[in-house]
Structure formats: C-alpha cells, structure tokens
Amino acid sequence: MVREITCTQAIAEGYAVAMRKDPSTFIVGEGIADRGGCFGHTTGLLVEFGPERVLDMPISESGFVGMCAGAAACGSRAIADIMYVDFTTLAMDQIINQAAKLRYMSGGQYEMPLTIVGVSGANRSGGPHHSQSLHPLFMNIPGILVVLPSNAYDLKGLLAAAILTNDLALVLPHRGLLNARCGVPEKDYVLPLGEARVIREGKDVSIVAAGMMLHHAAEAADKLSDRGISVELIDPRTLVPLDENTILKSVKKTGRLVVVDEGYSNCGVGAEIIARVQEKAFDFLDAPMQRIHPVSAPIPFSPVLEHALLPDLDKIVDVVMKVAR
C-alpha cells in the first residue's frame, strides 16, 4: 500500500527496514528512545526493537560515534543518530581518522557498517550552528558514502540501503523537508546507492540539484518553461557514489549544465561535477557551465539574511537564462 508520509516518518521507517533485516543493527543518539527523537523521527522504534537496540546517549558525539565505530568493526550494524550534521564536527577524529580508514588500514580484515544520520541545511533561522551543509567536506574523504535524499520515498529506501552496506555512510535529510510529504510504500524496500534520477526531461539545459535545492530547481524549471526553455532536471540522490553517467548523458543531449547546491562553492559539489563533465563531455558543451551556491559566509539567524544568502528560484532562473542564450 502506498500512502503519503513525511520525511520525518520516512526516517523512522528506513531505520526499521534495516533493523528488521539484520538483528545486529542498533541505533544510538540523544533523546531517541522514550522521547522519539528531537524531530519525532525515531517514534515507535523503542516499542518494536526494545532498549537493547534503541539506546539514549549522553551529549557526547565523540563518545557514541566512537563506540559505534568499534561495534561496527566487531560485526554489528551501528546507526549514530547525531541530530544535526553540524554536530559531526565534535566527532571528526572518530569519523575521518578511524571509521573511514579502518578497512584500508586493516587490509580489508575489518568492515565498517556504520551509518551517521544528521539533519542538514538552512531553514527557519537555525543560525550558524544548526544550519550548515557539510556534505562537501565528507565527499573529500575516501571511505565515506554521502547520501542527500530529496523526498520521503528516497529517504526511506536510501537510508535502509546505507545502513545495510558494509561501509561508513552519512545520510543527510534536509531540515526544510522534514514535514514534506510524498507517496511511500508501506512495505519494506531498499533503493540502490549511486543511481541518480531524472526528475524532468528537457532539451535545452541540464540542472543537477540534490536535497532542498532540487525543489527550488523544479520551481525554476516550471518558470523557465513559460519562457520557452526546456530544463532536464537531475537528482543525484547520492553524491558518493556519484552517478556521473546519468549527468554526462544529459549534458550530451542539452549541451548546457547548471549545478545548484547548498554547500559552499569552494571545493564544492558544483566544482566536482563541472570538472567531471569538462573532462568527459567537453566537446558536447554549447555554453560555459555554471554553479550556484550560497554566499561564502556563516548562515545568519536573521530570516531575511538567511534567504538572501541561499540559492533560490529567482537566482536559478537568472543563471539558466544566461546559459541558455
């Protein structure tokens, strides 16, 4: 049965899919047991799986992420619910120096089935400490999968897939999409990692955008259609692994590319995707590729300034209009 649920509910269902498939799977975090998570995203898990598999932790991200890495190395599937992606900065040694490298340093003797889940992105005046988009940072580290779902259907299936892999994975749902609804099967399912989705087919320009930016890009595509510009819109869904073949195929058809991302431009998603297209599809380009990112400044608390800093519909339309001339 397909019903409409929010991304918040999809997180709980994605957790449950993996926990049902592998009884070694457990989840830890702050306030995730009786409280059901600060967003209500772990509601019902304690009742179904019990206190030995759903455990509240003290406010010590370095401690419980390190514990999860050790448990994963010893054969369990561990989920560290870290609330906001901003809080991964408190466990960088455990994530980057330990969990991401253990398989390599052990010559493959150890695997790392550890998944870290944290809400990402700016929305509702979260300020500089609760609004960051840190996915480009983790893309730079070998050994880490990076998942950026844009809707509840993808979130449930990709989260389950990430948990069931034997690799360290970060799954980063956007804060602004937690209450967004879409049709999601009630039954358990798992989506493949590393497969982009063409949201909208077009012939004039390709736009690549993930997470919340996909929704701004979709609105822009509607507006651009009224101006006679046909947009092909691609949701990469996972940034590591990146489905570059789908992007290259689209660019070879349209001859133009715009990348929209909520991470900063310096060493960012736009730079990486544009570099790959330049290397592998340069001869098909009819115009310079463009990238749209936030202004390089901490995310402000002020709603007006927050909006001014981030990519939005109008900024996307303006850039695409220049590219498509």
Where along the chain do its domains lie? Answer: 2-185, 197-323
Q: Output b/e per residue, 3-22; b: 16+ Cβ within 10 A.
A: eebbbbbbbbbbbbbbbeee
Backbone phi and psi for residue 219, each to the nearest 5 degrees, phi listed first: -65, -40
The structure's pTM equals: 0.96
Radius of gyration of the chain (CA): 19
Residue 61 known to be catalytic: yes
Residue 232 known to be catalytic: no
Residue 189: the pLDDT is: 97
CA 104 to chain centroid: 24
Residue 325: the pLDDT is: 79
SS3 209: strand
- Per CATH, is 197-323 categorized as 3.40.50.920? yes
Please check whether the two domains, 2-185 and 197-323, share a CATH topology.
yes
Q: At what angle do helices 152-164 and 7-21 cross, to 10 degrees?
A: 30
Q: Output b/e per residue, 79-104; b: 16+ Cβ within 10 A.
A: bbbbbbbbbbebbeebbbebbbbbbe
292-319: per-residue pLDDT in tens? 999 999 999 999 999 999 999 999 999 9
Strand order in the sheet with 168-171: 54-56, 25-29, 77-84, 114-119, 168-171, 144-147, 238-240
Stated length of the chain: 325
- The domain made up of 2-185 has a fold known as Rossmann fold (3.40.50)
Contacts for 101 with CB less than 8 Å, ≥ 6 apart: 143
How many Å apart are CA 237 and CA 51, to the nearest integer? 32
Residue 35: the pLDDT is: 95
How many Å apart are CA 82 and CA 38, to the nearest integer? 11
Task: Give which of 215, 242, 249 is closest to 257, Cα–Cα.
Answer: 249
Residue 311: the pLDDT is: 97
Given 130, 135, 215, 293, which residue is catalytic?
A: 130
Residue 124: the pLDDT is: 83
Strand pairing report for 197-200 and 181-185 = unpaired
Residue 47: the pLDDT is: 97
Given 13, 30, 61, 306, which residue is catalytic?
A: 61
Give the residues of the chain that fall short of pLDDT 70.
none
Residue 2: the pLDDT is: 85
CA 235 to each of CA 164, 208, 214, 318: distance values in angstroms, whole numbers, following the listed order? 22, 6, 7, 20
